Structure 1
Amino acid sequence: MAKKRGCYVFTQSHNCEYDYYAGEAALRGGLAGELLRAAYRAEAQAIESSDVVFTLSAYDCERMQQIYGGPEDCRVVNPLVQSLADRLQTVTERQSRSKTPSAVFLGSAGQQNRLACSFLADKWTGAAVRLMIIGSVSDWIKQEYNLDILTERGINVAGFVESLDDILSMADAMVCPMHLGSGVKVKMIDALANACPVLASHEALHGFEFAQASGWVQSCSLEEMEQAVVQLRSADLSLQQLLNDTIREAAIQSRELRSVYAAFGLTDSGDHT
């Protein structure tokens, strides 16, 4: 409708988790397959009708090219990066961590989060690191696992908490073994903004390349995550480097956005990154 009225169409895309399950659902067929096909059709239509598509990472641009052969104009602009830069400027140092290293997993009740949570529940030993599970995924894990056994292995299924910021500021790391899902990016932003390092799957790190040089965001396999939390505890991480790298990335994306506006003859009256 916007195109028909002569408007430019800019679309912000998110790497939805249905990509991760497309193969499995296609094999099963039925309703799951129909829902996936509908999701892909909707994304294809959005790409076709857009003058420019903004994505959270360069990987997402490549993914769209492989699946749909487009869009013609794809730019990496993640509004959360500027938000992180703003929030980091209020953080002065890492908080004093608890005596025993601890990790946080934050998840919704979605399939992607349930899968990651089950991996952690099965693999976590609790020998040196406690794990706190937060969010609505807790309701699911309470149905699937014996909580007494999980507690003995250092896993605390906390559910919803009053202040996520308080917990992240005291944790040694946030663990993100998920593969896809734009929600993962929001969780990582929240962790970094509270001076909490992030250990994530390689796939989850797309769009966070700028934060890896400082060591605050690290690629880690599921099997390595527990020990990696212990190692992070003694790591010499510079908040200033993370802030500088984040500000630099936000500036790059802001210039990219302004170049798009300029190409379409639009004025930019503020910072839209």
Structure 2
Amino acid sequence: MKKMLFISPREPVNVAGGGLYKTKRLLAYFCEKFQVKEFYLTESNPVSQENMYQVKINDKKYQPTLANLIGSYIEGVPLSVYRNTPEDFDRERFNELASWADIIFVDHFFMYQFVPDSFAGKIIFHEHNAEFNIWERRASIEGSILKSLLLKREAKRVFQYEKKSALASDLVFAAPNDIACLRNAGCDSASFATTYHLGEDSLLDTAPNNFKDLGNNLVFLGGLDWEPNFNGVLWFLENCWDTLRSETNGEVQLHLIGKISEQQKDQLSEYEGVVCLGFVDDLNDALSQAKVFICPLQFGSGMKVKNITACYKGLPIVTTTIGAESIEFVDGENCLIADQPKEFVNAISSLLGSNELCAEIGANARVMSEKEYSWDEMLNSMYLEIIK
């Protein structure tokens, strides 16, 4: 049995969705196929175990501040890499782990900094997103000219780091749209293989929602510590929420599931009808209270795990074009796609006003997800690519 060193930003615990959910599923699968040792960064006290090495990040350094941006320029690395570089790092211990392994699986681009130059085994690079594309898209919607220029500059720095990492890897896993994006940008000589970012497929075994018995509840799933998520929620609240509240005589709520800071809760408390659920013990129970799932992302990359999870549950989804990327969505058939505030409101209103449409769109989404997005098939495919 081959030996794998699995390196990822966070140990996959307290998972509510998103990239961390995929990390959890990948790790469980790899532990069945390989001898696995793990390496993580942590915000709390590191845990010492025989097969796991954790190192604490510097809280001050981790903040996305101007001082840290300047520090990243001094170090000559992208801000994401700089923020995730621990100061108390036992390189000798890590190199011992690396020398033990036949394979290093790098989960997220900024973890590539830990791969030893001398490593002679197989390097597998798992892109959760084409990271530079997120920075480019963020720059495109930024109102400040100075901030937009800084974001564009950061996108170039991130791309150079991603390109170097991809070309140095034996295999790069990415979602279809990210592979196309990276190739078009200049990573065409890297060795790519397709992966999908899938959701909580146990929801396929749950009963579909009885929409006629539900109130006008919307739901969003995703940690608000991820900027595209928080930005998307704020865009929705600032541009769509008042109209929806008016149309429903205030009888509409937005439930937010996932990591939410106290500061964000205070900010969101300005909007009536917004319920911050945070982490939930039973995801099915929380989603069973919703009539419509929203994904109002304005920038981002890769497949959106939140949308696949909603499909598994059979929820009707209103999403943006960016939210729909790499998923077999057909507007009006298994989802509703809208990019402008008025269109987004109209799409939600059409679902709130028709239980039959909710059931039809949701059922089509569920059928599509069950047919196209199987964890077993994807994981087996990844395994076969790794052992070639």
TM-score (norm 2): 0.53
Q: Which has the larger radius of gyration?
A: 2
Q: Judge conservation of contact 1:214–1:241 (CA < 8 Å) in 2.
A: no
Tell me the number of residue pairs that the alignment of Structure 1 and Structure 2 aligns: 255
Cα distance, 1:94 vs structure 2: 2.7
Pick aligned residue for 1:102 from 217, 242, 245: 217
Q: Render the CA deviation track for 1:17-38: whole Å, top value 9, x for unaligned.
A: 3342245599438986775555
Q: Pairwise mapping of residues 184-199 of structure 1 onto structure 2 (< 5 A)?
A: 185-199=304-318
SS at match of 2:304: helix
Q: Judge conservation of contact 1:103–1:171 (CA < 8 Å) in 2.
A: yes
Q: Render the CA deviation track for 1:193-222: whole Å, top value 9, x for unaligned.
A: 33222211111111211x538933331233
Cα distance, 1:78 vs structure 2: 1.0
In the aligned structure 2, how far is the partner of 1:42 from the partner of 1:167?
39
Pick aligned residue for 1:225 from 344, 351, 366: 344
SS at match of 1:206: coil
Rate the CA distance shift 1:132–1:224 in 2: closer, same or farther, 3 A: same
Pick aligned residue for 1:170 from 276, 289, 298: 289
Letter of the structure 2 residue corresponding to residue 113 of structure 1: N
Gaps of 5+ in 1: 267-273
Match of 1:206 in 2: 325
Match of 2:368 in 1: 245
Percent identity of the aligned residues? 18
In the aligned structure 1, how far is the partner of 2:297 from the partner of 2:310?
15
Letter of the structure 2 residue corresponding to residue 261 of structure 1: L
Match of 2:168 in 1: 49
In the aligned structure 2, how far is the partner of 1:70 from the partner of 1:224?
37
Match of 2:194 in 1: 76
Letter of the structure 1 residue corresponding to residue 209 of structure 2: R
Match of 1:131 in 2: 253
Aligned residues: CA RMSD: 3.9
Q: Judge conservation of contact 1:105–1:133 (CA < 8 Å) in 2.
A: yes
Rate the CA distance shift 1:250–1:121 in 2: closer, same or farther, 3 A: closer
Match of 1:21 in 2: 138
Pick aligned residue for 1:10 from 116, 119, 124: 124
Q: Render the CA deviation track for 1:52-107: whole Å, top value 9, x for unaligned.
A: 32212x221221123234254333211526x53x541x124333454532212345
In the aligned structure 1, how far is the partner of 2:371 from the partner of 2:161?
34
Rate the CA distance shift 1:71–1:131 in 2: closer, same or farther, 3 A: farther
Rate the CA distance shift 1:175–1:265 in 2: closer, same or farther, 3 A: closer
TM-score (norm 1): 0.72
Q: Judge conservation of contact 2:265–2:276 (CA < 8 Å) in 1.
A: no
In the aligned structure 1, how far is the partner of 2:119 from the partner of 2:295?
43
Q: Judge conservation of contact 2:255–2:276 (CA < 8 Å) in 1.
A: yes
Rate the CA distance shift 1:27–1:52 in 2: closer, same or farther, 3 A: farther
Match of 2:333 in 1: 215
In the aligned structure 2, how far is the partner of 1:3 from the partner of 1:68?
23
Is 1:118 matched with 2:241?
no
Match of 1:61 in 2: 179
SS at match of 1:48: helix
Rate the CA distance shift 1:11–1:161 in 2: closer, same or farther, 3 A: closer
Q: Judge conservation of contact 1:53–1:75 (CA < 8 Å) in 2.
A: yes
Letter of the structure 1 residue corresponding to residue 296 of structure 2: P
Match of 1:234 in 2: 356
In the aligned structure 2, how far is the partner of 1:29 from the partner of 1:238?
38
Q: Which moved more, 1:44-53 or 1:133-142?
A: 133-142
Rate the CA distance shift 1:179–1:60 in 2: closer, same or farther, 3 A: farther
SS at match of 1:170: coil
SS at match of 2:198: helix
